[in-house]
Chains A and B, each alone.
Chain A
Amino acid sequence: MTAQPEASSPAPVPVSSGIGKLLIVPSLIGGLVAVALGIYGRLHSPTGVVVNIAGFTSAGYVKSWLATIATVFAVVQVISALVMYGKIPRVTAPSWIGMLHQWSGRIAFLVAVPVAVNCLYALGFQTYSTRVLIHSLLGCAFFGAFTVKMLILPKRGLPGWALPVAGAVVFTLLVGLWFTSAFWFFSTFGIHR
C-alpha cells in the first residue's frame, strides 16, 4: 500500500538501443495517460452526479463493490503469474493458466474502468486528506501503468524482469487504490449494498 505516484514511468533507460526502445515509448505513453487523467480530474469541476444501479443504495457502494471485484481478480492475476513463472513449488502450470491470467486481467481492468470514470467525473482529483491525495495519485498511476503493461506485453526481446515488474507495479497500485477507497468506505459506512 505504499504510494508510488509516478510508477508509470519506471523505464530503466539502458544505453543499448533495442531494449530501451522497447520500454521507453510505452512508458512515455503510460506516463501521458496518467498525467492526462490527473489533469482532467483536476480541471473538470466535479459534478457529484453519478449513475446508480438498482439494488444499491448509491453509487458509492457500487464503486466499492466493483473495486473489490477488480482487486479479487488482481489477486488471481498474481497467483496465476506466479504459477506461470514456476514460482510456486510443486505446482506445474496447467494448460489453461495463460487463459486464466489473461481473462482475470481483462475483467479486473474492465471492472475498474467504470469506477475510475465515476471517480474522475463525479469527484475529480482531490487533495483534501492524505487518503484522498494518495488515492488520486494511485488512480492516475494505475491506468498509466496498466497502459505500459499492455503495450509492452506483445513485444519480443524484453528483459525477463520487465513483465513481472510491470505486473507487480500494476497490482501494487490497484491494491493501494482498494485500501484507500473501498476498504475505507466499507469500514466507515458499513458493508452492505
Chain B
Amino acid sequence: MKLNTSLVTLLTGLVLGAGVLVTSAVWPSGTSAAVTSPGGAYGTTSPASPVPAATTAAPTPAASPSPTVAPATAASTSPATATATATAPATAPAATSSTRQADVPSMADYVSQVKGGGAAVAISVHGDKAVAYICNGHAVAAWLKGSAVGGTLNLTGKNGAHLSLNYRKSFAAGSFAADGTKYRFSAPLVHRVSSVLRPPGLYEATGVVHGVMIKAGWIVLPNGSQIGSVEYETGFSVLPTAQAPVLNLATGTAQYDGITLVASPISGVTGSGF
C-alpha cells in the first residue's frame, strides 16, 4: 500500500518533468504567447507610459554605437569606476564575493522581454564596453552605452535614459529608467544555436528615406519573434518613432518605405558592432 504512494510520487514527478520538458521543447516554435508577460511579440499592447520621450531628441549622426562613452556614468555604484579594464577586476558593490570572477563573462549577449510593457531589451557586453537597446515596436526606442565593470553595467542614453544591470554567465537582471518610470527585466544569456537564420540578439540598420536619416533596431528573441523600432533623425526636437519593418531572419534585410535596410548584428560575443 505504501509502496504505491511513494512510487506514485516518483512517477508523478517523472510525468511532471516530462511535461515541462515537452513544453520547453515546443516553446520556441510557438509565438511568444500567453504565458509570457503581457504583450508578446509585436506592439499589441501599449505600455501606456511616458517613456517615448527617451528617444526623441538630440539628432545624432546616425552612427552605430561608438566608443565615445561617458565613463563617469558608472560612478554611482562602483568605487573603482572609470578605470574599467578589459578583464573587469571584481569590484562590484553588493552581493556575494566568492566565485564572482568565474561567473562574470567578458563577452556576452542577453535579450529579454521587459516585464509588463510589451517591450524588449538587448544587452551586449564586449570586454569593458556594453551596448543596450530597448524598444517596444512603436513608441519606445532607446540606445544606451557605457562601460562594464565587474559584472555591473550602468548605461546611459538620450534624455537621461538609464539602464543598470548585473550580469553573470547565463543570466542578467536589471532595470531601465526613463522619464521617471522604471521597468524591470531579467534576461537569460543568448545561446547561439546553429541555424541558417540570424540568431537571437540585437540588430541595427541605418538608411535614408526621403532624405531623412533613419535608424532601425531589432531585438530578436530566443523564440524567434522580433521587436523593432525605427527612429527618424530629422534634426527637429520631436522625432517620431515607428514600428520597424519585419526583419527577414534568413537574409538579414528589411524593406522600409521603398529602400532595403541591411541589418548588422551587434554582438558582444562576436564583437561585431563594437
Verify that A and B bind, or say they do not: yes
B22 CB, nearest partner CB in chain A, Å:
10
Instruction: List B residues at the A interface (Cβ < 8 Å).
Output: 1-3, 5-7, 9-10, 12-13, 16-17, 20-21, 23-25, 27-28, 34-38, 94-96, 98-99, 102-103, 112, 115, 166, 168-174, 184-191, 193, 222-223
| Complex-state Cα separation, A188 to B103, whole angstroms | 11
* Chain B interface SS verdict (over half): mixed
| Complex-state Cα separation, A57 to B95, whole angstroms | 20
A163 CB, nearest partner CB in chain B, Å:
11
Chain A interface bracket (under 10, 10 to 19, 20 to 34, 35 or more):
35 or more
Query: Does B38 lie within 8 Å of A114, measured CB to CB?
Result: no
Q: List 25 A-B contacts (CB under 8 A).
A: A47-B191, A49-B191, A49-B222, A52-B36, A57-B112, A57-B186, A58-B173, A59-B188, A106-B9, A113-B20, A114-B20, A118-B24, A122-B24, A122-B188, A123-B170, A128-B103, A129-B103, A130-B98, A130-B102, A131-B98, A131-B99, A150-B7, A189-B166, A189-B174, A192-B184
Instruction: List A residues at the B interface (Cβ < 8 Å).
Output: 45-61, 102, 105-106, 109-110, 113-114, 116-118, 121-123, 126, 128-132, 147, 150-151, 153-154, 184-185, 187-190, 192
The answer, among B13, B102, B166, for a CB contact under 8 Å with A110, is B13
Residue of A nearest to B189 (CB): A48
With contacts A48-B189, A50-B188, A188-B168 known, is A60 near B7, CB below 8 A? no
A147 CB, nearest partner CB in chain B, Å:
6
B20 neighbours in A (Cβ, 8 Å): 51, 113-114, 117-118
| Complex-state Cα separation, A102 to B166, whole angstroms | 39
B21 neighbours in A (Cβ, 8 Å): 117, 121
| Complex-state Cα separation, A117 to B34, whole angstroms | 21
A109 neighbours in B (Cβ, 8 Å): 9, 13
